[in-house]
Amino acid sequence: MKIFRFLGIAAVAAATAGTMAAVTSPVAGATLLNPDMVPAMQRDLGLTHDQALARLAAEDSATKVGQALETALGDSFGGASYDAATGKARVGVTDASLVEKVRAAGAEAQVVRFSERQLDSSVAKLNASEKAAPQSVTAWGVDPASNRVTITVLKGQRAAAEKFARQSGVDTSSLEVTETAAKPQLHYNVLGGDAYYIGGSSRCSVGFSVNGGFLTAGHCAALTGAGPLTGYNRVSMGSFSSYRFPGSDYAYARVNSSWTPVGQINNGTRVTGSTAAAVGASVCKSGSTTGWTCGTIRAKNQTVRYPEGTVSGMVLTNARSDHGDSGGSFISGNQAQGLLSGGDTVNTYYYPIANALSATGTTLVRG
């Protein structure tokens, strides 16, 4: 058998999110995006089930009222926001004579100084000067609740934000500067089967997300110098924390704050556990070269003698794979099975996920 070598070429790794069936709430009369929405609202907003449904209905109504008033009020429209305390839209007007019109439409009225168009104009001026903005300025935009354009800046750098605003030609009375402790960062999901790069040249595949990172093949670290990791998009990803090859073939990679381990394969398949499937059962794998391929489990407790070293305790399958798939996910149904190790033109071996979890002291992230 020959080990799968790693290719230092650009990978095409497209992660597709799983499609969730829509559910209709008879209480709220609204179609939810997915069945997890109400439980998440209960958890994160401190609501009961019925309160979450009632809020969704109220928000939908308030949004429609706000949109209708935006059209009706024209240049006098000062923005709209949702007031959770009253369950209504709060609409700003620059003309006090329009207050009753707003209330008659079912919204709360607030007389404000700036119209939404004026605030949007201020944002446009800041956008036009974006290249001149200091690095300490992290964001800006319209806040209809305060009827201001907010500029967010790192702590202690308020003066830099104010100077930038003046140089942009913005009416500074329309601004509100807020300080933040850290700069915003892009966030990427760690998904089984996606490509990652070691030291900028060698390519392997993510196996399964675990707490703090992901598991993959140990030879991806041992035979490449275990250099710094970058993701499928070449964004800095993290580093190997531990690995073993030969003898076994597993590695634990810790990811940085730009990446979030997700209990999912990159074709949308959820990972719900790690129960080992029987010989003869179907098994599928995801890798960054050959994508999603399936076969059956042919035998277990296999010792494989690669030119680079021998690995014991592996599982033999006839799922197709190729160079660069190393470390990729083997899954049966929704149960994680193992990490792709190597193979030949007919057979592919994976290292059991249970052994890798135990050796690294990690816990599988479940979808």
Q: Which of 202, 248, 249, 288 is catalytic?
A: 249
Determine phi and psi for 307, rounding to 5 degrees.
-55, -30
Q: Is 75 exposed, middle or buried (0-12, 13-18, 19+ CB in 10 A)?
A: exposed
- H or E stretch at 60: helix 49-73
User: CA 119, CA 114: separation in Å to the nearest integer?
Assistant: 7
Report the C-alpha gap between 168 and 129 in whole angstroms.
6
76 φψ region: left (φ > 0), alpha (ψ -120 to 50), beta (else) = alpha
User: Which residues are registered as beta bridge partners of 332?
Assistant: 335
Rounded to whole angstroms, how far apart are CA atoms 141 and 151? 7
Q: Is 219 a catalytic residue?
A: yes
Please confirm, yes or no, whether 326 is among the known catalytic residues. Answer: yes
The span from the CA of 239 to the CA of 236, in Å, is: 9
Active site residue 75: no
Tokens for 195, please give them: 């490509």
DSSP structure class, residue 270: B
By the 8 A CB rule, do 226 and 155 touch? no
d(CA 78, CA 43): 33
Amino acid type, 205: S
Helices (H), 74-188: 99-104, 116-128, 158-167
The alpha carbon of 322 is separated from its chain's Cα centroid by a whole number of angstroms, namely: 28
Catalytic residue selected from 122, 202, 326, 341? 326
Question: Pick from 260, 276, 254, 256: which is nearest to 330 by CA?
Answer: 276
**Phi, then psi, of 120 in degrees rounded to 5:** -65, -35
> Cα separation of 219 and 71, whole Å?
62
Give the residues across from 317 on adjacent strands.
Answer: 297, 348
Question: Which candidate in 219, 323, 332, 341 is catalytic?
Answer: 219
Which residues are designated catalytic? 219, 249, 326
